[in-house]
Amino acid sequence: MTTNGIELAASLFQKIVGMQPTRVKQGHGSFITFDFGRDVTRQVKTRNGIITSHFGEWHLWVYMCAWRIDKTKIPVVGCEATREKISCFLSELQKRRLKEVNILNQAFDAKLVFENNMELYLFSFYTQDQEQWMLFTPEKKVFTAGPGNQWSYDDAKKPRNLTEVPR
């Protein structure tokens, strides 16, 4: 039986509602990441050896999608702003608990509502080749949204098996 990707994504996000994110930061380009839950230490193999990294047991990676932060329904920063401006508003989000998550459509656009009327909107724009966002879970699985209306929920170290949302 095929699970509905929208319902699955919503149920996974429901498990972190009420948590306050840690290590909210901008990575390469407009990528942003959020950790939720208790800290987990992992050994990561790199070209230069093994390093110790710290992650949340839940990790949201906003990858190849546009995003915007609104405060009291007014847009205040988007993915193409300066790194300084983005950093300022990401640090504000890090101080607020996640109150609600809505998956808005079959492209997995999403609205994450934080305390004090702050909202993070995720907008897909790739219909092929690129994932929009990924949510890593404590079970070492990852929900991958996109490209387009495709999704997967697999072991984080295993190749993805994409499923399309029925039209």
Q: What is the pLDDT of residue 1?
A: 37
Tell me the C-alpha distance between 132 and 123, whole Å: 8
Q: What is the pLDDT of residue 45?
A: 77
CA–CA separation, 89 and 25 (whole Å) = 10
Averaged pLDDT, 60-81: 96
Rounded to whole angstroms, the Cα distance separating 113 from 85 reads 20
95-138 pLDDT per residue, tens: 999 999 999 999 999 999 999 999 999 999 888 889 999 999 99
Per residue, what are the HEC states of the chain?
Answer: CCCCHHHHHHHHHHCCCCCCCEEEEECCCCCEEEEEEEEEEEEEEECCEEEEEEEEEEEEEECCCEEEEEECCEEEEECCCCHHHHHHHHHHHCCCCEEEEEECCCCCCEEEEECCCEEEEEECCCCCCCCCEEEECCCCEEEEECCCCEEEEEECCCCCCCEECCC
- The mean of the pLDDT values for the chain is 91
Q: For residue 128, what pLDDT is reported?
A: 86
pLDDT > 70: what percent of the chain? 92
Report which of residues 93 and 46 the model is more confident about: 93
pLDDT band at residue 3 using 50, 70 and 90 as cut-offs: low
Specify the pLDDT at position 2: 45
Amino acid at 2: T
Range with the poorest average pLDDT among 31-35, 49-53, 78-82: 49-53
Residue 68 in contact with residue 75, Cβ under 8 Å? yes
Query: Is residue 164 very low, low, confident or very high in pLDDT (cuts 50, 70, 90)?
Result: low
Name the pTM for this structure.
0.88
**Residue whose structure tokens are 């640090």:** 91
